A and B are shown apart, each in its own frame.
Chain A
Amino acid sequence: MSEALTFEHPWLLVLLPLALLPLLRGRRDTLAFPSVAWLPRDRVGQLVGWLWPLFAILAIASSILALAQPGRPQSFVQRTGTGAEILVLLDRSRSMDDRMLPANWREIDPSSLLYHTGRGRKKADVARELLSQFVAQRPDDRFSLMYFSNRPLSVVSFTQHDAVMQAGISAGVTGRGLADTEVGRALVAGIAEFDQRAYSGSRIMLLVSDGGAHLDEETRERIRIGLARNRIALYWMYLRSYNSATLDTTDDRWANAPELALHRFFQSLPTPYRAYQAEVPEDLSRAVAEVGRQQNLPLDFLEQIPRRDYSRHFIAVAAFACAMLLLYRSMLLRSWQ
């Protein structure tokens, strides 16, 4: 608020003297009368006679000011938060539209389990809901949101404004998921988000996904180097589907599962890595809470406050003045008849 008012097109202010035009009293808009003095003094009429040039001046002046586009200039504010920079990579593949298992799935008879899996809530919905709670609980963090399926899709770049983030999260409801789960490309794109940013606090990449992928050697290398260079901690929230591998299994049956391959690759990274395996919604919320507890380091950043344009107000004033002038004009008697 302390910033001075600036104009986008200051040269238009040259036109401002035009606002004095209504003070030049033309004879055309009046009716000649032999002697005004002998008419009764009409206070209302007198007031209207004073007001309409005022409204005309106001209309012209504020139109010119609106054209010049006044506004508070764009500025930067140094802010200190206690949170982290968190990039959420949310899986938007078709498998995320599957249901989660009910909480007591271990006690359910395996023969009717398939029925119960159709009863739970969608994984994507649960994940979105928890994420939005997570964002709401951590006002100091800076979030970025990226959906991915067969290609990454940046939705919200780093911001501290929760409303933007919440809107981004709820935007994921639209439509159904896509076919593929390209974790490698998503990770590379996520790391690139951090590339041009000054390091000002702890950085987390939160991968929310229900499946893994086999990554080729080149991608692995890029991810490894990227995470190390940008000093990013990777958290993987693994939403386990019914009939897929748990991350800590040693069973040979799952030796080739893509989830396990990914997990093993992440474990081999030099940067911090944690995996949270969630089978039921309660697991997922526990995992989210744990992430929240972990990262609470001070964080300095410059926030850009965008330019605020005030021309809208001036246009409103001009429109009001013009409306009053129209009203005046409609009440005018043009002749003696």
Chain B
Amino acid sequence: MSTSPEFHYRLPHRSGGWRPGSHPGSSLGGGQEFVSHVSIFDRPDPRRLDLRASLREVRGDWLVRVHRQRVSVPVYVVADVSASMSFGLPKSKLHVLADFVTALGHSAFRVGDALGMLAFDARERPDLFVPALLSRGVGEVMASMLTSCKGAAGGSDGLEQAVLHLAGRHGLIFLASDFHWPLDRLGGVLDLLAHCYVVPLVVWDPAEIQPPRHDGLMPLRDVESGRRSTQWLRPVTRERWHEAVERRRAELNRIFSARGIRPFFISGEFAGEALSNYFLEATA
């Protein structure tokens, strides 16, 4: 086995939560980040008694240092398992997603975050639900569930149903999909997840964003709807193909950036380093 491509992630903003972890938190407790001094009567913790501050104190109170504790957050993967996700050459998009989930399992366990999964196609898929677990092997379990599942046609209905479980909670959410469904209700979904830090993973296969090199006729069949369409591949259509991809990319960017989110595009192979960079840029 190759070394597991872990990646580094930190939430850029403070998050609530009582469980000690590695993300900046808003709760007080054992941490490195100094907040203030309070009277020992307000916070009876003699271990943190600050003698120098107490001597400087005019009223003669005994002061205790108060620190902010770093917290762990639940991490959820909201995975699109619709039929279109099983497309891809040589690796299907679901397999790419499974790679990502495996890496996430290791990374989350390393920083002490609980990892869970919700899946959807046209509806929520309760059979693929994994509650947030602090377990070393949960990433592999989720990956094997993803690679062995069969999806139906996808849609934003399923996404809405799945996301309702997470509405109003804190945490980190990876929304992994190829977004091959109407985007008009995506905004509403993101509003539901306003409390979380959402990372949209746009998983596209190189074959769909890059037309084949040779000219010719391509009879295409939609894996979800079964609709057929024949493309005569020639320089004109190739150009329009690229334009269509760019348009989609721009549309996604527009919807996400309106809510201060930057999507992360995966095409072909999941690269842990790129996702680390993504988080470093976000926290910087």
Contact = CB atoms under 8 A, between A and B. Distances in A.
Interface in B204-227: 205, 207-208, 212, 214, 216-225, 227
Given A48-B232, A332-B216, A30 B221 contact: yes
> Which size bracket describes the interface of A in this complex?
20 to 34
A31 B220 contact: yes
B248 A38 contact: yes
Interface string B83-95: 1110101000100
Given A331-B216, A331-B217, A40 B243 contact: yes
Interface string A7-41: 00000000000000000010101111111111111
Nearest to B231: A45
A44 interface: yes
Contact of A333 (B87, B178, B233, B245): B233
A40 B240 contact: yes
A139 interface: no
B220 A328 contact: no
A47 to B, nearest CB: 8
A39 B237 CA distance: 9
B82 to A, nearest CB: 9
B229 interface: yes
B241 interface: yes
A213 B10 CA distance: 128
Interface in B74-124: 83-85, 87, 89, 93
A333 B218 contact: yes
> Which size bracket describes the interface of B in this complex?
35 or more
B133 to A, nearest CB: 31
B228 interface: yes
A39 B227 CA distance: 12
B3 interface: no
A333 B214 contact: yes
Contacts of A331: 216-217
B37 interface: no
Interface in A160-213: none
B244 interface: yes
B8 interface: no
B233 A27 contact: no
Given A31-B218, A34-B84, A45 B208 contact: no
B212 A46 contact: no
Nearest to A44: B232
A76 interface: no
B148 interface: no
A35 B224 contact: yes
B32 interface: no
Given A34-B84, A34-B87, A336-B89, A39 B220 contact: yes
Nearest to A336: B207
B36 interface: no
Contacts of A250: none
A74 interface: no
A77 B216 CA distance: 57
22 contacts: A29-B219, A32-B220, A32-B221, A33-B220, A34-B87, A34-B222, A35-B208, A35-B224, A37-B180, A37-B222, A37-B227, A38-B180, A38-B244, A40-B237, A40-B240, A42-B229, A42-B230, A42-B240, A45-B218, A49-B230, A328-B217, A333-B217
